[in-house]
Amino acid sequence: MSRTVYVNGDYLPEEDAKISIFDRGFLMADAVYEVTSVLGGKLIDFEGHAVRLKRSLDELDMAEPCTKEALLEIHRKLVELNEIDEGLVYLQVTRGSDGDRDFAFPSEDTPPSIVLFTQNKPGLANSPAAKKGAKIISIEDIRWGRRDIKTVQLLYPSMGKMMAKKVGCDDAWMVEDGYVTEGTSNNAYFVKDGVIVTRPLSTEILHGITRKAVLRIAEEAQLKIEERLFTIEEAQSADEAFTTSASAFVMPVVEIDGVTLGEGVPGPIAKRLREIYLDESQKAAI
């Protein structure tokens, strides 16, 4: 069945949705995005995504396509029209187009392009992958230096995911100057002797919406947290590890570069954080 998508003010069947070939999102990856989960037909942490979208746009001197209230309305309408119970809403804002290709930005009155579509993912919260845990490889982090801005420059993370799949693994953690930055599409953590370790926020990683929520939950559960740099070797000798993201929530990690963590099954802290996160975020969903 064809989806209804949103493009620059119109709700359209996906076959009829069109964007200019001169759009800078297409030509220059001059665009930012957000992915919001839907559980029980409601949006998870919409506020967090709206705040980060605004920050990404501001950092790139890109105009806001509409108000936060209008954005919420579009999200809700797409969820309703496409009858999404569990799934995702993808949102992309680009710098638009003035009808030609140029490295210089178009004039400031060029309207941004805005596109949203839903992805139906029944069983998202109860994923078998989370029960098994993920196998991770490490790869060098060769991305640009403003990873705190959620741009659509996703070629290298996409290649990283394929490198993992090629060797029978699920995902890759990226390493820069000997220290783990983050996963291809998630933030990275390990747990040793009850202490949760994750890299501190900076321009080197995306400031995960789920990271913020999960660290708050961990703090409330009296768990110790250390925000510091860490190596793959340290994570390999951990009791357990996990990743967080808006679309996979808390995902346990059971293997890193061929080394099995603990018993090779999802660890108790990752499992508990996943349960609490899913429970709390569904209660707060709008």
State the Cα torsion 69-71-74-78 to the nearest 10°.
-130
- We find the least distance from the C-beta atom of residue 96 to ligand PLP, in angstroms, to be 23
Q: Give dist(CA 271, CA 148) in Å, integer.
A: 27
- Asked if 278 is part of the footprint of ligand PLP (rule: CB under 6 A), the reply reads no
For 38, 42, 90, the CA distances from 80, given in Å and listed in that order, are 11, 10, 15
Between residues 149 and 169, which has the closer beta carbon with respect to ligand PLP?
149
Stretch that binds ligand PLP, among 20-28, 78-86, 206-214, 255-263 (CB under 6 A): 206-214
- CA dist 133 and 122 (Å) reads 19
Among 31, 114, 246, 261, binds ligand PLP (CB under 6 A): 246
Question: 79: how many CB neighbours lie within 10 A of its CB?
Answer: 20
The single residue among 39, 50, 71, 209 that binds ligand PLP, judged by CB under 6 A, is 209
Looking at the Cβ atoms of 4 and 186, the one nearer to ligand PLP is 186
Tokens of 5: 């998508």
Under rule CB under 6 A, residue 187 binds ligand PLP: yes
Q: Distance between CA atoms of 265 and 242, rounded to whole angstroms?
A: 11
**Alpha helix ranges (H) inside the chain:** 24-28, 46-59, 68-81, 128-132, 155-166, 209-220, 232-236, 268-284
- Residues labelled catalytic: 150
Residue selected from 23, 30, 182, 255 as contacting ligand PLP according to rule CB under 6 A: 182
- Options 65, 96, 208, 266; binder of ligand PLP; rule CB under 6 A: 208
Minimum Å gap between C-beta 35 and ligand PLP is 6
Q: Which of 73, 31, 79, 80 is nearest to 56 (CA)?
A: 31
Residue 20 neighbours by CB under 8 Å, 6+ apart: 26, 97, 99, 113
Q: Which of 113, 118, 244, 281 binds ligand PLP (CB under 6 A)?
A: 244
Of 90, 52, 29, 55, which Cα lies nearest the Cα of 211? Answer: 52
Q: Which is nearer to ligand PLP, 12 or 68 (CB)?
A: 68
Binding region for ligand PLP (CB under 6 A) out of 75-83, 181-189, 215-223, 262-270? 181-189
Contacts of 70 (CB under 8 A, 6+ apart): none
For position 79 contacting ligand PLP by CB under 6 A, the verdict is: no
| Contact map string, positions 132 to 171, toward ligand PLP, x by CB under 6 A | ----------------------------------------
Minimal distance in Å, beta carbon 120 to ligand PLP?
19
* Contact call for residue 56 and ligand PLP (CB under 6 A): no
Count of residues binding ligand PLP (CB under 6 A)? 12
How far apart are the C-alpha atoms of 209 and 144, rounded to whole Å?
21
Residue 198 makes contact with ligand PLP by CB under 6 A: no
Residues near ligand PLP (CB under 6 A): 182, 185-187, 206, 208-211, 244-246
